[in-house]
Amino acid sequence: MKIQAQFMAFPDDFWWGSAWSAEQAEGRGNTGKGRTQWDMSWDKYSHRFYQGINTDTTTDFFHRYIDDIQLMKQTGHNSFRLSISWARLFPQGIGDICQEAVTFYRAMLSEMMANGIKPFANLYHFDMPEAMMLMGGWESRAVMDAYVHFCDTCFREFGDLVYHWFTFNEPLGPVLGGYMEDFHYPNVIDFKRGVQVGFNTILASALAIKAFKCHQLNSKIGIILNLSPTYPRSENPLDVEAAEYADLFYNRSFLDPSIKGSFPGKLVETLREHNLLPLFTEQDLNDIRENTVQILGLNYYEPRRVKARTSAVNPRSPFMPEWYFESYVMPGRKFNPHRGWEIYEQGIYDLCIDIRDNYGNIEAFISENGMGVANEERFTHAGQVQDDYRIGFIQNHLAYLHQAIADGCNIKGYHLWTFIDCWSWLNAYKNRYGLVSLNINTQQRTIKKSGEFYQALSQQNGFFFNGLYVDF
């Protein structure tokens, strides 16, 4: 699809902003925050953390939020997504609430509001408290109950300060990382347990939504999903079938229950065939059916391209969805070598159209999209990172997003990953994503060229699009 050069005006009150999470940006602070799964990972696998940097300090938002909120303003934010740390509010995951943590979050959220920045609060971003992980993490019902109690507490304590709520960021992450691909604690390879974790997070999300409704707040509550539009290598029916399976496991698995309140029949059937169905009750299914999301966040980074398998599956290897497909590398693809992700801007359009056509055009926004680049300091001139590639990346995606809106998609905003360079899971500060650069030795912040672009974008509620920027 070709997009014409033009001024891309976005709808009134469009949410311009960015996102990050507590574990990645706050640092430990001094409220007596409990340990999380990342401290457990550090104890066990510190060698896996890039340059040996853990979550102790990160971007130190805890101590610097007042100045950082000014930087949000200077980079055009009218909204911002953060997460509330479960382990800060309840150091043991349950039990006594930490009043200092309540004071911190209330002060920080109030400061955002006072500066005209709408706080979007997410309630889980890969940061299970250690005490909860020791009880089984998302495999445990008691942990789900503790999570719902934490959410309920947040609605009560911060309900007057939060614009929109989200139960989870990328609930697929703990399944993939923790039970399939060995990059999150508990680093288990067991798809059946992963299915149980997936089911339990979907149920926990529904139960949090149920609790939310009792508070009768003006805000909405939703979920943030990482979705990769899935493309078959070719129109060959076997490639198409492979893409359908990949889509089922990685997209529909969370989309359908979150928005429609039920699981795709073919997914259930496939899991049953392999004896992988989770444990559940009829009441669980009712709760999922009756407590669907009111708003949807779309994290879009890369497409998923697949082909029919070219080799036989070893039936004695642990089950993986890849038994049904293989990844496909499209010749000539645009690629970010730092993160290893394909860049395919039209994917953002295809994703929005899918939500329009198959999910009732539910109110949605782009909750993450961004580009991580290593050694960004090499682009520094006159003290500023000249990240034209990031400006191009944003513009290209926005051009397709603009088209999606013109074609009737109910998209309310765009949040970039991320605001100030922040810590990334295992990659620490290797790849920089921010509109503002961070010197990790001095904690000095400097607005990048993209931060200036973002400010103008937000102020004009649009930008002049000159055609696709391709120099990555």
Q: Of residues 227-286, which lie at the interface with ligand BGP (CB under 6 A)?
A: none
| Binding of ligand BGP by 307 (CB under 6 A) | no
CA–CA distance, 234 with 254 (Å, rounded to integer): 26
Total residues contacting ligand BGP (rule CB under 6 A)?
14
Q: Which of 96, 17, 32 is nearest to 62 (CA)?
A: 32
Q: Which of 165, 170, 168 is nearest to 228 (CA)?
A: 170
Residue of 37, 169, 292, 410 that binds ligand BGP (CB under 6 A):
169
Indicate the helix (H) or strand (E) that contains 6: strand 6-9
Stretch that binds ligand BGP, among 70-78, 201-209, 421-429, 463-471 (CB under 6 A): 421-429
Beta strands in 308-349 (DSSP E): 326-327, 334-336, 341-343
Q: Do residues 416 and 454 lie in contact, with contact meaning Cβ atoms separated by under 8 Å?
A: yes
SS3 365: strand
Of the two residues 193 and 339, which places its CB atom closer to ligand BGP in the complex? 339
CB of 239 to ligand BGP, least distance (A): 27
CA–CA distance, 401 with 303 (Å, rounded to integer): 15
CB of 298 to ligand BGP, least distance (A): 12
Burial class (CB in 10 A: 0-12, 13-18, 19+), 315: exposed
| Binding of ligand BGP by 424 (CB under 6 A) | yes
Q: Which of 167, 255, 273, 164 is nearest to 210 (CA)?
A: 167
| Binding of ligand BGP by 427 (CB under 6 A) | yes
| Binding of ligand BGP by 39 (CB under 6 A) | no
Stretch that binds ligand BGP, among 40-48, 61-69, 425-433, 463-471 (CB under 6 A): 425-433
Active site residues: 170, 368
Of the two residues 433 and 463, which places its CB atom closer to ligand BGP in the complex? 433
Q: Of residues 367-406, which lie at the interface with ligand BGP (CB under 6 A)?
A: 368, 372
Stretch that binds ligand BGP, among 135-143, 306-314, 424-432, 455-463 (CB under 6 A): 424-432
| Binding of ligand BGP by 342 (CB under 6 A) | no
Of the two residues 287 and 376, which places its CB atom closer to ligand BGP in the complex? 376
CA–CA distance, 323 with 343 (Å, rounded to integer): 26
CA–CA distance, 457 with 397 (Å, rounded to integer): 13
Residue of 104, 191, 425, 463 that binds ligand BGP (CB under 6 A):
425
Sites of contact with ligand BGP (CB under 6 A): 21, 24, 169-170, 226, 299, 339, 368, 372, 417, 424-425, 427, 431
